[in-house]
């Protein structure tokens, strides 16, 4: 009775919920829901889409402006750097004004690289070469003989003086660009100034670079004049949107360049009495520029408070604007703000059209999908019912069950499915009959594979033990040849401490301290990479340096060239790509001589004042080329009692914390300066402790090597002994 009732209920249930209904309804409901949601979200998210699009456009445009400005300015700074490098490498002399003039002419004569390059010195001498708008080139020169006058000459197409154009009083030491460099004591920028020498008045700015001698005394200043109109030309050609615009201003709010304001300044007066008055962006006659500047000041309190890229939205005469402001910083004094403006109406028409199109397409999709759903459900339901019945029989254990496909089938794929079902049933029946044999076969295969894996693991263990023993021996040899503490303590008049920690079992860093006949030789280097091959190259370098020091070779060119040829030939024999940077420092009688290309040498004075010595022009990587003699030079410095040097490899400044932030040379100099009143050992420990603190839990990826040398100060007894000996003599 109960079983009959259950069948009756199932029959009633199937009467109200047939397969066709169950196929169509779930198919239609998601389409109806999706259509409604798309229409609603299109309406609600239209404004957000505009915000996102405007933000992305403004961000990309401001980044392009920043990139163009910095690339343009870095080119000029690099030109000054190359000029300074030419001085340091003795390619030309600062006191040879004619030679400087020829060098400047080679740079500016075509007007494609720099327009005006000049140099002034502490004696008031000046030399400058300027490319004119009419294609001619002028030489401007002031010497001690012509002072206080500066003479201006026209140059021919070969850089020779053609005729005198004019002369007037001029002293570079009184000029703002000279004062700016002298005050900053480093590469920097002058303030923006007006130029009246060209046909039209224009804004200019000058990158400047002070030049010092080996004693730190100012010799003069290198300078380039840059026309800011080139930046204006770039943003004029930069397409943003139909009504978009951009401008650049200083932190004071004064305009530098604008895509809509042709001249970002006013000219007052005429002739020689002309002067310029800068235009404030907040008071500009362009309403959008003025409104953007005013809104930025209102939001952040002042323009100085803007530290990173920011998006501002404001209204002007009923129209909404999107403004993106981005600081432009070059690290040498440039601190400007680039602003990109886009009106909302430039995007609204497209957004509205897209929303209408989306809704119409959704409605058409809903109607079509509903009709297709009803048709598809009818075609599918009949053969599926037949397949369902056959599946139940197969599940009940009737492996001989087959589907009858003799009647007419509306869908070819369903007929294929029925035929596949019959084939599957036959294969299933056969599979059950052969399953036991397959299981036995697979079990035997797995047992054989397991034996092979065990044998392979044993071989890997043996190889690992052998390689570990080889690396351990190499590491022991490497550590054995490092200078012992008692060797360093026996060097009279110097306090020396060294440290080396390889990143792997065998490191690629090298340092040594050798003492022969009153000459103390310090070597420090870094082989590319680390591991066994780098460690071997380090050992070869130590042996070669020891040999050259023992034969009393003091000429830095012969020393490094001989060492390089020795290492280069061994590297070629090893068929290796390894090389190393290497610095050799010799100390004797209160003087140090530095040669070889490596990291910066930190020179520290008694009071903790730090000087950073660039070694790029003092040598060339060892083992990279067979002949490097022409690249080798050296620099000599006096070491007073209490002075010293700090040598290191890149494992210290490039050490990273868990956030991938590097330690940097500036932090190393700060720790050295703070602890310079202590012993060399204590200074070394303070540096290593601070590097460890910075690294934290991050893995050490490079070798860490450090060498501290400090000239000891004379005791009271030593001073008294020297006085007595002097009196006796």
Which residue do the tokens 């034969």 mark?
A: 551
Residue 191 has pLDDT above 50, yes or no: yes
152 or 332: which carries more pLDDT confidence?
152
Nearest to 523 by CA among 617, 598, 631: 598
pLDDT average, residue stretch 497-521: 84
Write down the pLDDT at residue 105: 92
* Closest by Cα among 167, 168, 158 to 137: 158
Least confident stretch, 156-165, 431-440, 587-596: 431-440
- For residue range 90-101, list pLDDT tens digits in order: 887 888 899 899
β-pairing, 188-189 with 126-131? unpaired
Confidence band, pLDDT 50/70/90 cuts, at residue 14: very low
pLDDT digits over 316-374, tens only? 988 889 999 999 998 888 999 999 999 988 877 666 666 677 777 777 776 776 777 66
pLDDT of residue 578: 86
Element holding 691 (H helix, E strand)? helix 680-695
d(CA 581, CA 583): 7
Confidence of residue 262 (pLDDT cuts 50, 70, 90): confident
More confident residue, 668 or 242: 668
Q: Is the pLDDT of residue 54 over 80?
A: no
- The pLDDT score that the predictor gives to residue 506 is 57
Angle (deg, nearest 10), helices 19-88 and 345-395: 130
Domains of the chain and any CATH numbers? 92-227 (3.30.450.20), 231-347 (3.30.450.20), 481-718 (3.60.40.10)
Q: Across residues 69-85, what is the average pLDDT? A: 88
Q: Confirm if 224 and 369 have CB atoms less than 8 A apart.
A: no
Token pair of 317, please?
Answer: 């005469």
pLDDT, tens digit (0-9, with 9 covering 90-100), for 451-462:
777 777 677 667
Nearest to 140 by CA among 181, 105, 107, 175: 105
Cα–Cα–Cα angle for 684, 688, 690, rounded to 5 degrees: 120
d(CA 671, CA 679): 14
First to last CA, the chain: 138
pLDDT of residue 121: 94
Using the CB atoms, write b or e for 713-725: b if 16+ within 10 Å: eeeeeeeeeeeee
pLDDT at 222: 94
The string of pLDDT tens digits covering residues 244-254 is 899 999 999 99
Q: What tokens does 333 get?
A: 């004094």
24 against 33, higher pLDDT? 33
In this prediction, residue 433 carries a pLDDT of 65
Q: Which helix (H) or strand (E) holds 701?
A: none
Question: Can you give the pLDDT at residue 464?
Answer: 56
pLDDT at 4: 46
Tell me the angle at which helices 532-550 and 556-574 cross, rounded to the nearest 10 degrees: 150
Neighbours of 171 (CB within 10 A): 15
| Residue 190 three-state SS | coil
Q: What is the DSSP track for 244-279? A: -EEEEEETTSBEEEESS-S-SEEEESSGGG-EEEEP
pLDDT score of 407 = 53
Q: Report, as an integer, the average pLDDT of 614-631.
A: 92
Q: Which of 240-267 are b and which e, b meaning 16 or more Cβ less than 10 Å from the residue's Cβ?
A: bbeebbbbbbbeebbbbbbbebebbbee
Return the DSSP state at 617.
G
- pLDDT for res 36: 67
Distance CA 208, CA 210 (A): 7
pLDDT of residue 435: 66
d(CA 462, CA 206): 68
How high does pLDDT run on average in the chain? Answer: 83
Candidate ranges 26-30, 226-230, 397-401; pick with highest mean pLDDT = 226-230
Instruction: Return the pLDDT at 19.
Output: 61
């Amino acid at each position: 009775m109960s079983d009959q009732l259950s069948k009756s209920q199932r029959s009633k249930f199937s009467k109200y919920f047939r397969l066709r209904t169950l196929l169509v309804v779930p198919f239609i409901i998601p389409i109806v829901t999706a259509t409604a949601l798309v229409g609603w979200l299109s309406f609600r998210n239209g404004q957000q889409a505009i915000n996102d699009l405007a933000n992305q456009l403004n961000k990309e445009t401001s980044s392009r402006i920043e990139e163009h400005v910095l690339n343009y300015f870095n080119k000029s700074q690099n030109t000054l750097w190359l000029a300074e490098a030419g001085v340091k490498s003795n390619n030309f002399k600062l006191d040879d004004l004619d030679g400087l003039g020829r060098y400047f002419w080679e740079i500016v004569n075509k007007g494609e690289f720099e327009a005006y390059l000049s140099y002034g010195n502490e004696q008031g001498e000046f030399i400058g070469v300027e490319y004119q708008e009419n294609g001619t080139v002028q030489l401007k020169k002031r010497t001690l003989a012509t002072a206080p006058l500066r003479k201006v000459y026209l140059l021919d197409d070969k850089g020779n003086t053609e005729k005198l154009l004019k002369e007037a009083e001029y002293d570079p030491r009184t000029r703002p660009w000279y004062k700016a460099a002298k005050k900053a004591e480093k590469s920097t920028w002058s303030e923006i100034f007006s130029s009246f020498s060209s046909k039209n008045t224009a804004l200019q700015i000058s990158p400047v670079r002070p030049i010092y001698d080996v004693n730190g005394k100012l010799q003069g200043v290198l300078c380039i004049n840059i026309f800011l109109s080139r930046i204006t030309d770039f943003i004029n050609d930069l397409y943003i949107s139909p009504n978009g615009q951009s401008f650049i201003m200083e932190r004071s709010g004064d305009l530098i360049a604008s895509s809509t304001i042709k001249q970002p300044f006013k000219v007052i007066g005429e002739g020689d009495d002309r002067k310029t008055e800068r235009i404030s962006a907040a008071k500009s006659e362009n309403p959008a520029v003025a409104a953007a500047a005013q809104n930025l000041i209102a939001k952040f309190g002042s323009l100085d408070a803007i530290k990173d890229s920011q998006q501002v939205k404001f209204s002007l005469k009923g129209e909404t604007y999107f403004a993106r402001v981005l600081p432009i910083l070059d690290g040498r004094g440039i601190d400007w703000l680039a602003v990109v403006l886009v009106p909302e109406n430039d995007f609204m028409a497209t957004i509205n059209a897209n929303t209408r199109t989306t809704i119409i397409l959704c409605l058409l999709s809903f109607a079509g999908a509903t009709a297709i759903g009803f048709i598809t459900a009818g075609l599918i339901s009949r053969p599926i019912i037949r397949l369902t019945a056959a599946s139940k029989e197969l599940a009940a254990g009737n492996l001989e069950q087959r589907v009858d496909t003799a009647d007419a089938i509306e869908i070819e794929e369903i007929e294929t499915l029925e035929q596949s079902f019959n084939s599957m049933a036959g294969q299933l029946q056969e599979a059950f009959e052969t399953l036991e044999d397959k299981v036995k076969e697979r079990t035997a295969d797995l047992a054989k594979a397991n034996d092979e894996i065990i044998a392979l693991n044993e071989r890997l263990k043996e190889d690992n033990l052998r390689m570990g023993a080889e690396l351990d021996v190499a590491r022991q040899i490497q550590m054995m040849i490092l200078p012992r503490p008692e060797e360093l303590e026996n060097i009279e008049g110097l306090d020396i401490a060294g440290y080396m920690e390889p990143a792997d079992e065998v490191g690629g860093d090298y340092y040594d301290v050798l003492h022969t006949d009153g000459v103390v030789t310090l070597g420090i280097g870094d082989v590319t990479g680390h591991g066994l091959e780098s460690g071997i190259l380090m050992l070869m370098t130590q042996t070669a340096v020891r040999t050259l020091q023992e034969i009393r070779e003091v000429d830095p060119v012969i020393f490094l060239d001989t060492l390089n040829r020795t290492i280069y030939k061994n590297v070629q024999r090893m068929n290796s790509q390894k090389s190393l940077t290497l610095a050799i420092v010799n100390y004797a009688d209160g003087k140090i001589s530095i040669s070889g290309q490596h990291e910066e040498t930190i020179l520290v004075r008694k009071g903790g004042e730090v000087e950073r010595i660039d070694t790029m022009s003092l040598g060339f990587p060892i083992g990279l080329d067979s002949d490097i003699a022409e690249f080798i030079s050296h620099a000599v410095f006096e070491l007073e009692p209490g002075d010293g040097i700090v040598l290191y490899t890149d494992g210290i400044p490039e050490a990273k914390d868990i956030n991938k932030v590097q330690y940097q040379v500036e932090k190393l100099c700060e720790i050295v300066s703070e602890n310079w009143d202590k012993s060399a050992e204590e200074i070394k420990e303070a540096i290593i402790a601070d590097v460890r603190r910075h690294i934290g839990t991050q893995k050490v990826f490079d070798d860490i090597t450090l060498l501290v040398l400090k000239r000891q100060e004379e005791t009271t007894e030593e001073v008294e002994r020297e006085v007595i000996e002097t009196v006796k003599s």
